[in-house]
Amino acid sequence: RSFQIAEGKLGAFTLDRPVLDRIGGDKEFSLSSSQSAAIEAAYTGAKPINIVDGRIYLGADTTSPALGDYRIGYELAPLGTVSIVARQAGDRFESYQTAAGDALLMVDTGDVPADRMFAEAVSANTLITWLLRAGGLILLTIGFALLLGPIGVIFDVIPFLGSLARLGTGIIAFVLAILVGTTTIAVAWFWYRPVLAAAILAAGVI
């Protein structure tokens, strides 16, 4: 189970959890001897406490964990520059609501130009979109194949004809999936990219 600080500081700004969640590059933090001594002195729990290799272990034997024991470690985001694209609200950052209804909040480590952050976000979104479309076509193909499956069963009385029927229904299922899939994509794009939508629709028909 992971726990995270509720907020952090970046210069004069306070970073809430939605921003902190997007800051990468966390590295394992090992407790120093003074920190370990302070934790051991402040601990009042019932389980024995041991600090080994900079990690806290609550249990009788660190080499033989038992049910109910705890091993606690820390990760720390290194100090450095953070680039944020968001809406500023006082000393905090929050998601910017675009006209299209999207919540815009981008965070990257280092000094990253805004145009590069937007380009990377568009590229990632495009990849995800096409993967979802490909997954949709695969599911459509499977659905049509299951729908046409009984045809192969009917022709199974003659094994050779059954195999041919399954091959034919598989091809038909794929063609139907392409037709339905490209039509759906084209209809969704007509509002934003009518020329590209018409080209996709024509390719699907051809």
Residue 120 has pLDDT above 70, yes or no: yes
As to burial, measured by CB atoms within 10 angstroms (0-12 exposed, 13-18 middle, 19+ buried), residue 19 is buried
User: 205 pLDDT band (50/70/90 cuts)?
Assistant: low
Q: Residues 86-119: pLDDT tens digits?
A: 888 888 888 888 776 778 888 888 888 888 888 8
User: 197 pLDDT band (50/70/90 cuts)?
Assistant: low
Q: Greater confidence, 192 or 143?
A: 143
Q: What are the domain boundaries of the chain?
A: 7-111, 117-205
| pLDDT (0 to 100) of residue 38 | 92
Distance CA 98, CA 125 (A): 16
Which is nearest to 31 in space by CA: 21, 20, 42? 42
Per-residue pLDDT, averaged over 126-150, amounts to 87
Q: Greater confidence, 51 or 205?
A: 51
Q: Residues 14-67: pLDDT tens digits?
A: 888 888 888 877 888 888 889 999 999 999 888 899 988 889 999 888 888 888
Residue 80 has pLDDT above 80, yes or no: no
Q: Residues 144-163: pLDDT tens digits?
A: 888 888 887 787 777 777 78
Which CA distances in Å does 201 have to 165, 181, 183?
29, 10, 6
Q: Convert the chain into a string of H (helix), E (strand) and C (coil).
A: CCCCCCEEEECCEEEEHHHHCCCCCCEEECCCHHHHHHHHHHCCCCCCEEEECCEEEECCCCCCCCCCCEEECEEECCCCCEEEECEEECCEEECEECCCCCEECEEEECCCCHHHHHHHHHHHHHHHHHHHHHHHHHHHHHHHHHHHHHHHHHHHHCHHHHHHHHHHHHHHHHHHHHHHHHHHHHHHHCCCCHHHHHHHHHHHHC
Per-residue pLDDT, averaged over 168-196, amounts to 79
* CA dihedral sign of residues 118, 120, 123, 124: negative
Residue 187 has pLDDT above 80, yes or no: no
